[in-house]
Structure 1
Amino acid sequence: MPLHMLGEGGSRGSTLEATLLKILHSAGGGATQVIGMSATLSNIEDITQFLNADIYSNNFRPVQLTEFVKLTDNIYKVEPKALGSDDQITHDRVVNFEYKPEMVKVDPDHLLGLVLEVVPQNSCLLFCPTKKNCENVALMLCKLMAKYRRELTEVRRVERKALLKELYSDSEGRMCPTLQYTIHYGVAYHHSGLTTDERKLIEEAYSEGILCLLACTSTLAAGVNLPAKRVILRSPYVGQSFLSRSQYKQMVGRAGRAGIDSSGESILVCKATDKNKVVDLLSCPIEKCHSSLVYDGGRGIRSLLLSTIGLKVTTTTEDVFRFTNRSLAHIQQSALNVSMATLCQESLQKLIDSGLVLQTKSLSEEPEKGESVIHSLEVTPLGKATFKGPIDPDFAGLLYADLKQAEESIVLSTHLHLLYLVTPYDVVTTMNPSWHIYFNQYGTFDQSELKVASLIGVPESYVAKRAAMQKSRLKVNEFVVKRFYLTLMLYDLWREKSVWEVAEKFEQPRGFIQNLLSGAASFASCVAHFCQELKEFWAYKDLLGNFVRRLSYCVTIELIPLMEIPGVKLGRARLMFAAGYKTLSSVAAAKPEDLVKAVQYMPRKVAKQIVASSQLVLSEKKDAMMEEVDALVSVPKGVEPTGTMATIPTPAPVTPAPDSQASDING
């Protein structure tokens, strides 16, 4: 477990701390062992106290790392022993590449020279400050290679063509023009704008040496394990923010591949105006890892308290305070400038005011103190539905109100209304609609869809005014307006338009569209479980059954069996269906050679994986059915079998189990 993630802020760090707290509480006598690692922790004492842990610390690095800084065309070596002094960087050499005047205009930072010193024999990661810069840099380098290093296209040529073919197949017959051009040179970009399938294929190709250079954002440094012989930092900035020491160490730490290279090196490119900042960056201590539990006014604490009360880990207010006193946030409350007792009390009160938790008073006899008041805590039906969903407590009231409002006038002649109800709340704040695109969508609506928009609270006249850049006198909820805009993206996906088509139509990165769909499928499953716990929403429980399953794939019913096979996406499922492979059993019985011949763009390697995966899925389904048969056969004579309760199918992106304590803890 990477312990520095505790300080990442937001829900990720908060969820990790909450999970560790529950594990430590449930471990009791120490039956559970937690092992955490990090190379970028400066306040290890706080983490040690929080986990009640022992420390093992070592400076050993299997591959030696040498750090450099580049100013103009000069490269300076970072001297670790001289950090903090005037001699911490010393001149090492000049970039060994002959630049022509026209090249300098295109590549003023001499990136091509730095890259060609290691590729294609070795690998290189080039960190860029923005996603757009990743694509531009990759394209710029390949255009220069086309003029001055054309022979690079001959390296691993067959494998690179196969990679392009697979990318084309997985992208439903579409291809990013930049990737289509750069991959011939062994170059690609890597950031969140890529789809999951694109990222996976690019990462595998890089690991196998088919690609030798990735232009990437800082997220790669904290994510997948993709080491390199040389790491280049295109700029000392991430977006508009100057690099932190922790970010810098995470990036340069990718240099040096154990078992492959005997050494690794990093080069930080900077301008003369940033030299002093860079010098300070090299010598400053790593930032302290602070608890994320208190983010957004205690949002993480509210989720933690609701789940512990729901799980009966804490049953009184005293239990709540004792439990949170073990948190990292409590240990660091002075550094965080918060009072955990106050924040905990406010969070608990908010849960009570929201109708999620019920507090009752009772008297208890204590021999020494006499009678004392005990404040017992338990979750309400709404609170139980919220933590079992799991739904963010801050959105529980809003979700309940949305479902209650729609219950009286839901439009079932179109799926648009249901899609709105499962559009994730947490994505809304980052969305700024394009009013021209928004209004164009209304032009395609039929009467049912216009009725949905009106019932939700986004009338056509309001969108028309905004598209015409005029003020509207109508009072609308901007949160609802933004959320419905996201719903329109999901609606196009639901109608089987590809991620590429929707991304182009709404002018969004295809990675964002795919993440929106994944988030909606996950949230839809949570809403389904939320409704299961509340009897008043029995109708939604029935409505959301097949809807949740189909939303996770956004395909017609007949393609779902193929989409359940790991590695099969929409484009490939359609090709397989057209080739006659329409069921899971037909794929499991096929020979890889037959799949390659029958299905367009099907590489042999992928065909073998698909057949093996389908056989595994089929075997699991067979075992599950046999267990049900055994359960029915074993019913004692004279006892009526109760049968199995129909449950709402859970899509692939999430697997919450309403009756499983383990899933609640992870939630």
Structure 2
Amino acid sequence: MDANKTSNIYHQTTVDVARTTHTTATHIGRKRTFDESHGRQNADISNHGGFQRPTLQPRCFEALKASEIQDVCDRGQSEYTQRRGLALTPTPTSNPLLDLSHPAYGLPTQLVRNFADHGVKSIYPWQSECLLHSGALGGERNLVYTAPTGVSLMVAIFSFSLCSGLLSQKYVQYCTTYNPPDFPKYAALTLYFALLQGGKSLVADILMLRKVLQNPGQKALLVLPYVALVQEKLRWLRQIVDGIIKTPSNSSRIEKVQSWRKRGDEDTLRVVGLFGGSKSKAAWADIDIAVCTIEKANSLVNTAIEEHTIGMLGAVIIDELHMIDDESRGYILELMATKFLSLEQNVQLIGMSATLNNAGLLAQWLNGARFYISRYRPVPIEEHLVFDNSVYQAATSSRFYKTATQLNAQTQLSSQVKPEPVRIIHPSQYKEFGDPLINAVVSLASETARAGYGALVLPRPEEVDTTTMEKRLELLNDLRSTSTGLDATLEKTVLVGVAFHHAGLTAEERDLIATAYDLGVVKVIVATCSLAAGINLPARRVILHGARMGAEFVGPSMLRQMRGRAGRKGKDDIGETYLCCKKADLEAVAELMEAGIPNVESCLLPGKRGIKRALLEVIAIKLATCDESVNDYMRKTLLYHSVDSEELRVTISSTLDDLSESCLVEITDNSTYTATTLGEAVVASSLTPEDGLFVHRELLKALQGFAMDSDIHALYTFTPVQTTQGNINWQIFRQEVERLDESNMRALQLVGLKPMLINKMAHGGSMKESTPEELEIVRVYKRFYSALQLRDLCNEMPIHAVARKYDIPRGIVQNLAQTCHGFAAGIIKFCQRMGWGALAAVLDHYSDRLRAGAKSDLLALAEITYIKSRTARVFWENGYRTVAAVATADPKDLLPVFLMAQPRKPNKLPSEEDKYIEKLRGKVAIVSNSANKLWERQMQQEFDEED
């Protein structure tokens, strides 16, 4: 391509760029050479500017125009208009206690400096008051507090309307014709994290860090509900504790408790993340602060109690405390907290939430903890109801309810006085926007874009900002470089600053999109409601497309989380929410808005499964072994504050009988309780008693007949019991079964599947699911169907190919693999506790293959950073078959091999190609360094064995 023509790509319109043609060369069925993989002849690595890469695929779209929004009356004086000229947030100048360096907080100078370097230079008055007047700062009291979430910035559109839970892409298909030429330049990602932590989380951070630094040898446990939040918090805390040195007494006390080999990092604060699928193998003694998911935290506590090292724990922080009444998993929080209350050790408990209605009750449960409630929002929020192309003010839920009720009555009785709208959204001339609801969502988003904050659908501009286009092209290159390649829809929409965020995307895609959005490269996010509960993304204006999640309405807490995303201190002087509603949902939405946040209640209540796991765990870890200690434990639960004593006694008695009948607990004549080997295995594997019994039955069948020459049988045991893959595609299932070889067919029969039934289902049959036995049979078929996908992944089929083969989103496939990592570790522990060492060893091998996404011959290479699956295979085929071979190679020789494994990219300017190669050189350096460390470790192990 001519250089002048190439440079013109940055001066064309978005549509012109999208229409650029490209060709793709394929190399199927044979190994490509380095030159062929990059379209070069007689190539020299030093002349990388001449790489021939395919250009973007043509994308031609009609330019659509969003409707105009017209003010029809004076919106009056709002909280926003009153606060615009007022500085209602005091500063350290007026109140010295708002400075973290104030002696009252007792924080080290380096820690204060780190906070300041990451944007946290002062705190809010409510944060100061909570820290100084709750008694928690000195570590004497437990604390429960609630404060609004205020972490938003630009535009987010939440779509609740699909039963599948995956995002409809109808909006992003309208987002291909506009780029605002002068969008604001947003700060770096570190500032985003600073502002994110500047709310309720900052209080807990200060308490936790102060506890660890001022109490030699003590550790802290931070519990978060989702993996994405754990990863985000882990990055933040590691930045904040950088350069912080522990006192000598701190290190010496730890060494007295447990010795370990000197690694050079014992004097620094070690922050470790533990979650399902994580690679961390850090021991309890190697941790100062553990950032964990709920399940990992509970498992870590159980281990510490059994090993009598729980005394090293000084503080436990539970974020999203309202999740304690989530029966599916949040109830584990109650089990864990109750263990601390039952121990005779001073473990400080800190619970926080943005949506907590009965903080007083929870504080009473946590040993009379102090509770603090803040309703302060540094950025005011204006709320609106959008109905039938009209915008109505709804400053409070009561006003919203009144407005919605009047509007609903107006649709039925013409005599009713209709509320006066403050704005009118003109009907659209385009059939795509014929639905008033869709028209409203698109028009509100595009209006925000014209104000300089975001973009959705606007007329075609004359030109595209050069810097903007460069960053978006770079984002496309990064997306294309992921293990799954570039999504076709994102390829269209990212160029105009629009993306979507849902479970169908892989973790790498979601991270890249979130980062680009925060930096202003992506302007609009279209997302499912999971955005409210998962990783935090910013939003100046939150537009809610209805209030449904699938066929059901969301709860009051979720709805408030959605609305609470609007407006963020330091970025916006206002937040806005627009709830766009259909006529049929108007009254129900009004009632939802009026509804209060439900009280958090115990999930150990009769009829719920939590109490069985609670009693099994405390008996297995020997925290309660008789009637007296069991009753004492139950008096420490939240359940004790919810039911009368007689009902509690009956519930405990019936649950213990059930555990005994299930052979999980043995009860002697003198009412002494002991966990059986099976009960201990269930607890060690972090399974519920019900799931543990199912796994036990499945493993017993495997012991009686296991297909050792079959991948599928071992991988079946790793498939989570509670599969989340949805319905089986029986046609695909039948096709895969027909392709199975003899060993895999034997595995299918050993687990209890019948090919005739699969064939019947493929022809439209149905399976009964009315009894527990029938449900268990369905579970077996679902697990085996998921195991087929794991088999393909372990045989080096890329995630995107597996997704296409089974007709499911790529993110779902990746999530299955990641979930299996944690489940596999639990199953291996189960086998070890049961004394099934041989089966545990076989499963451990397949666990390594699952993590590597590769066959057995690549497992050693897959230990190297950045060398997984396809990349490992490319290294193997080019002669680098051992860790030693990679470690001893010159990085210059590794670069062309590493480049060969990268996904194909479009042509770049020479300067961009230089940046790309330089980035790969950095990765190759990490590969070489990782290989050298692994090789040194291997040689040390061989040396130790000889001694």
Task: With the length of structure 2 as denominator, give the TM-score of the two structures.
Answer: 0.57
Q: Is the 8 A contact 2:864 2:931 kept in 1?
A: no
Q: Structure 1 residue 224 and structure 2 residue 535: aligned?
A: yes
Match of 1:424 in 2: 720
1:336-389 per-position Cα deviation (integer Å, ceiling 9, x unaligned) = x99433333222222211112111133xxxxxxxxxxxx111111222222122
Contact 2:667 2:673 in 1 (8 A): yes
Q: In structure 1, what is the equivalent of residue 660 of structure 2? A: 352
Q: Aligned pair 1:164/2:476, yes or no?
A: yes
Report SS of the residue matched to 2:348.
coil
What SS does the corresponding residue of 1:327 show, helix, strand or coil? Answer: coil
Q: 1:600 to 1:491 in 2, by over 3 A?
A: closer
Question: Partner letter of residue 118 of structure 1?
Answer: T
Give the Å deviation of 1:42. Answer: 1.1
Cα distance change, pair 109–516 in 1 and its aligned pair in 2 (3 A): same
Q: Structure 1 residue aligned with 2:349, among 24, 34, 43?
A: 34
Name the CA shift for 1:184/1:579 in 2 (closer, same or farther; >3 Å).
farther
Structure 1 residue runs without a partner (length 5+): 125-140, 363-374, 634-640, 642-667
3-state secondary structure, aligned to 1:110: helix
Kept in 1, the 8 Å contact 2:767–2:778? The answer is no
2:795–2:853 Cα contact (<8 Å) kept: yes
Q: CA 1:238/1:611 → structure 2, altered by over 3 Å: closer, same or farther?
A: same
Retained in 1: the 8 A contact 2:472–2:494?
A: yes
> Given the alignment of the two structures, is residue 556 of structure 1 paired with residue 855 of structure 2, yes or no?
yes
For 2:802 and 2:591, how far apart are their aligned partners in 1? 45
Tell me the residue number matched to 1:10: 327
Deviation at 1:114, TM superposition (A): 0.8
Identity of aligned residues (%): 29
SS at match of 1:165: helix
SS in 2 for 1:333: coil
Name the CA distance, whole Å, in 1 between partners of 2:933 and 2:856: 21
Quick check: 2:378–2:569 contact (8 Å CA) kept in 1?
yes
Q: Does the 8 A contact of 2:796 with 2:870 survive in 1?
A: no
- Counterpart residue number, 2:599: 288
Return the structure number with greater helix share.
1
CA-CA distance at 1:93 after TM superposition: 3.4
1:332 match: 642
State whether residues 95 and 114 of structure 1, in contact with CA within 8 Å, keep that contact through their aligned partners in structure 2: no
Aligned to 1:36, the other structure's residue is in SS state strand
Give yes or no for contact 1:2–1:38 (8 Å, CA) kept in 2. yes
Structure 2 unmatched runs, 5+: 1-317, 407-418, 906-915
User: How has the CA–CA distance of structure 1 residues 10 and 87 changed in structure 2, closer, same or farther, with 3 Å as cutoff?
Assistant: closer
Residues 332 and 434 (structure 1), Cα distance of their counterparts in 2 relative to 1, 3 Å cut: same
Aligned to 1:115: 445
Which residue is 2:557 aligned to? Answer: 246
**Residue of structure 2 equivalent to 1:343:** 651
| Pairing partner for 1:480 from 768, 780, 794 | 780
Which residue among 77, 83, 94 is the counterpart of 2:423? 94
Structure 1 equivalent of residue 751 of structure 2: 456
Q: Is the 8 A contact 1:309 1:315 kept in 2?
A: yes
Give the one of 233, 236, 244 matched to 2:547: 236
Residues 190, 199 of structure 1: 8 Å contact kept: yes
**Secondary structure of 1:179's partner?**
helix
Secondary structure of the 1:56 match is strand
After superposition, the Cα gap between the structure-2 partners of 1:84 and 1:499, relative to the gap in structure 1 and judged at 3 Å, is closer
- Within a 5 Å distance, the mapping from 1:62-77 to structure 2 comes to 62-77=378-393
C-alpha distance in 2, partners of 1:210/1:333? 53
Distance in 1 (alpha carbons) for counterparts of 2:822 and 2:482: 22
* Bigger RCO (CA 8 Å, 6+ sep): 2
Matched, 1:50 2:365: yes
Give yes or no for the alignment of 1:23 onto 2:343: no
The equivalent of 1:178 in structure 2 is 489
Contact 2:883 2:935 in 1 (8 A): no
Q: Contact 2:664/2:675 (CA < 8 Å) preserved in 1?
A: yes
Q: Determine the C-alpha separation between the residues in 2 that align with 1:81 and 1:417.
A: 55
Asked if 1 retains the 8 angstrom alpha-carbon contact of 2:602 and 2:638, the reply is yes
What pairs with 1:188-267 in structure 2 (closer than 5 Å)? 188-267=499-578
CA distance in 1 between partners of 2:936 and 2:350 (Å)? 35
SS of the residue corresponding to residue 258 of structure 1 reads coil
Answer yes or no: is the 8 Å Cα contact 2:803–2:809 preserved in 1.
yes
Structure 1 pair 98/73, CA: closer, same or farther in 2 (3 Å)?
A: closer
Matched with 1:544 is 843
Partners of 1:76 and 1:92 within 8 A in 2 = yes
CA distance 1:211–1:351, shift in 2 (3 Å): same
Q: For the residues of structure 2 that align with 1:177 and 1:193, how far apart are their CA atoms?
A: 13
CA distance in 2, matches of 1:494, 1:399: 22
Alpha-carbon distance between aligned partners in 2 of 1:516 and 1:82, rounded to the nearest angstrom: 43
Query: SS of 2:623's equivalent?
Result: coil
Partner Cα separation in structure 1 for residue 452 and residue 604 of structure 2:
42
- Aligned residue pairs total 595
Partners of 1:314 and 1:323 within 8 A in 2 = yes
* Aligned counterparts of 1:116 and 1:599: Cα–Cα separation in 2: 40
Deviation at 1:597, TM superposition (A): 6.3
Report deviation, 1:37.
1.7
Shift in Å at residue 233 of structure 1?
0.5
User: In structure 1, what is the Cα distance between the partners aligned to 2:571 and 2:708?
Assistant: 59
Which amino acid counterpart does residue 356 of structure 1 have in structure 2?
L
Deviates more, 1:576-585 or 1:10-19: 576-585
Quote how far apart the aligned CAs of 1:235 are.
1.0
CA distance in 1, matches of 2:522, 2:566: 16
CA distance in 2: counterparts of 1:3 and 1:338, whole angstroms: 32
Measure, in 1, the Cα distance between the counterparts of 2:853 and 2:421: 56
Matched-pair contact (CA < 8 Å) for 1:227–1:254 = yes
Partner Cα distance (1:575, 1:62) in 2:
53
Alpha-carbon distance change, 344 to 543 in structure 1, aligned in 2, over 3 angstroms: same
Q: Does the 8 Å contact 1:79/1:87 carry over to 2?
A: no
Instruction: Report the AA paired with residue 11 of structure 1.
Output: S
How far apart are residue 252 of structure 1 and its match?
A: 1.3
Letter in 2 for 1:167: L
Partner of 1:658: none
* In structure 1, C-alpha distance between the alignment counterparts of 2:427 and 2:765, rounded to whole Å: 56
CA drift at 1:276 = 3.2
- Measured in 1, the distance between the counterparts of 2:841 and 2:448 equals 59
The normalised TM-score by structure 1 is 0.79
Structure 2: how far apart are the matches of 1:397 and 1:96?
A: 58
- Tell me the CA shift for residue 278 of structure 1: 3.3
Distance 1:268 1:57 in 2: 27
Equivalent of residue 270 in structure 1, options 559, 581, 587: 581
Structure 1 SS opposite 2:336: helix
Aligned partner of 2:609 in structure 1 is: 299
What is the deviation of 1:161? 1.3
- What amino acid maps onto 2:598 in structure 1? E
| Cα distance in 1 between the residues matched to 2:893 and 2:392 | 54
Q: Which residue of 1 aligns with 2:194?
A: none
Tell whether the 8 Å contact from 2:497 to 2:521 is kept in structure 1 after alignment.
Answer: yes
1:419-478 Cα distance to aligned partner (Å, 9 max, x none): 2222221117x64322211211122112222222222221222222222335899x9833
Q: Any idea what the Cα deviations from partners look like across 1:142-189, whole Å, max 9, x if unmatched?
A: 6x44x54585786721111111112122134x3322111111111111
CA pair 123-570 structure 1, distance change in 2 beyond 3 A:
farther
| Contact 2:365/2:641, CA 8 A, preserved across alignment | yes
**Bigger mean CA deviation after superposition, 181-190 or 624-633:** 624-633
Change (3 A) 1:252 1:445: same
